Structure 1
């Protein structure tokens, strides 16, 4: 028996009592965008998921192939009658048993999906103000670069942003350098130079981050660099934008008293859509 919100119920009535992702954050996940029954950047997502499982010492089942996950995601969309565009999340968690020390490294997974309004990436030019979130810091370690089910800094940061009328917040690491935004990787444009923090600073090894870096390197006249960004550098920038797989590119319009343009972001969103239509 357990006490759930003041009611004594049978333990079997709540799967959460034994779920290690719930109890200890012992899980990893991938968020996918699917357009017309095609998972965008499938190979990148698959290999990041497998790498994340290895980092946290989960046993990878033999049937966890890229084709298997593709089939599982698309079959769910078919059952839900979602055909145009969708967001799906694959969460992999270690199986029940143990306390901090698990009794097994075997895993289970959960996939859920919701429809999206549009298929192509579109640039949202509405007001998007950000500020630093300094209550907690991102640590410069390998765990920070993968997507685990422990996202408390993103949750508390999102509450802070909401309470202060902000669209997003920028996270800093334990050496007070800029890492990323709450919902994605951060890019800064200074003149003709596109800069994003290196993975070693603690930022997520983002799938869209990888696409944007590759696309930008093909554009004549743009210098691409992965280098440390301080909070002071942000106010010297011409552009700031956030990237993730679901929204693509989100321009930041204001940081403190500085207002930004979105010229490079517009060019990159065009190149991104072109690259997807060609594949």
Structure 2
């Protein structure tokens, strides 16, 4: 079942048409959210990011779009799929309503919510081989639009095809200034000793929820230092660890980049702290 503007519809319903602006122009935003046993992980952060993104794209925010209302709609979709006692991956998509060419006829919006089962209620560290490579066919622009979770993800789509064709589990993206900004599906962290770096938002990386949480966690720990600064491709092979973060996986360690193999000591330590934060928050 899918929640479309508060109505629960079967997944094979034709509730969008050829005039949909998300399809035509990528005029849409989305949040990918983890829900476990009825608890929406980091919901306030997701909600505030969505509201800020809608304002940036000049979408009209409905009066009904309160935290409580949207959480209720998320849980309605979860319950309609009989997943209220399960770990769930939820996607909340908001798009400008039909009409117009590049210039919309209205800034009013609609939404739909999907819910699909996950395997684990906790963030779990994947220790399987996870090899990455730089994707250099196209570059991310270091601007505010690149930091939003919009439906304009062609670089990520083509990069995913490149990774699949070449036997990689993921790719790292560069911005137009040739700095490493993120992975195809999440933010990047680099570990050297007890010092940890992640690209700054101004470099064009996604303003990720788990990125934000880990920066906060690391800032409160005496054994690590955290820095938001440029990451050059030359730094990658000098690192002790590299890992990717997103709201569904949590922390995904990178095992190999070119001839370098990485450890997972810090990633494992931080995963426990992230799980604890998710349970509390």
TM band (smaller chain): over 0.9
Residue in 2 aligned with 1:30?
A: 31
Count of matched residue positions in the alignment of Structure 1 and Structure 2: 267
Question: Runs (4+) of structure 1 moved beyond 4 Å?
Answer: none
Provide Cα deviations, 1:90-141, integer angstroms capped at 9, x if missing partner.
Answer: 1100001001111000000011110111101110011000000000000011
What pairs with 1:93-104 in structure 2 (closer than 5 Å)? Answer: 93-104=95-106
CA shift, 1:22, in A, is 0.3
Q: Structure 2 CA distance, aligned partners of 1:76 and 1:276?
A: 21
The structure with the larger Rg is 1
- Given the alignment, which residue of 234, 253, 257 partners 2:259? 257
- Given the alignment, which residue of 149, 152, 156 partners 2:151? 149
Q: Structure 2 CA distance, aligned partners of 1:213 and 1:132?
A: 24
TM-score (norm 2): 0.93
What pairs with 1:204-243 in structure 2 (closer than 5 Å)? Answer: 204-243=206-245
CA shift, 1:275, in A, is 2.0
Q: Structure 2 CA distance, aligned partners of 1:72 and 1:276?
A: 21
CA shift, 1:14, in A, is 8.2
Q: What secondary structure is seen at the aligned counterpart in 2 of 1:16?
A: coil
- Given the alignment, which residue of 180, 195, 200 partners 1:193? 195
Residue pair 2:133, 2:258 contacting (<8 A) in 1 also: yes
Residue 39 of structure 2 is aligned to residue 44 of structure 1: no
Residue 271 of structure 2 is aligned to residue 269 of structure 1: yes
Q: What secondary structure is seen at the aligned counterpart in 2 of 1:17?
A: coil
Larger deviation, residues 75-84 vs 51-60: 75-84
Q: What secondary structure is seen at the aligned counterpart in 2 of 1:220?
A: coil
Residue pair 2:133, 2:257 contacting (<8 A) in 1 also: yes
RMSD: 1.0
- Given the alignment, which residue of 202, 205, 218 partners 1:203? 205
TM-score (norm 1): 0.94
Residue in 1 aligned with 2:132?
A: 130
Q: What secondary structure is seen at the aligned counterpart in 2 of 1:216?
A: helix
Provide Cα deviations, 1:13-39, integer angstroms capped at 9, x if missing partner.
Answer: 783311000011000110100011010
What pairs with 1:144-183 in structure 2 (closer than 5 Å)? Answer: 144-183=146-185
Residue in 2 aligned with 1:64?
A: 65
CA shift, 1:154, in A, is 0.4
Provide Cα deviations, 1:216-251, integer angstroms capped at 9, x if missing partner.
Answer: 122222011001000001011000000001000000
Larger deviation, residues 261-270 vs 216-225: 216-225
Q: Structure 2 CA distance, aligned partners of 1:16 and 1:140?
A: 33
Residue in 2 aligned with 1:4?
A: none
Structure 1 spans left out of the alignment, 5+ residues: 1-12
Provide Cα deviations, 1:116-169, integer angstroms capped at 9, x if missing partner.
Answer: 111011100110000000000000110000100111000000000000000000
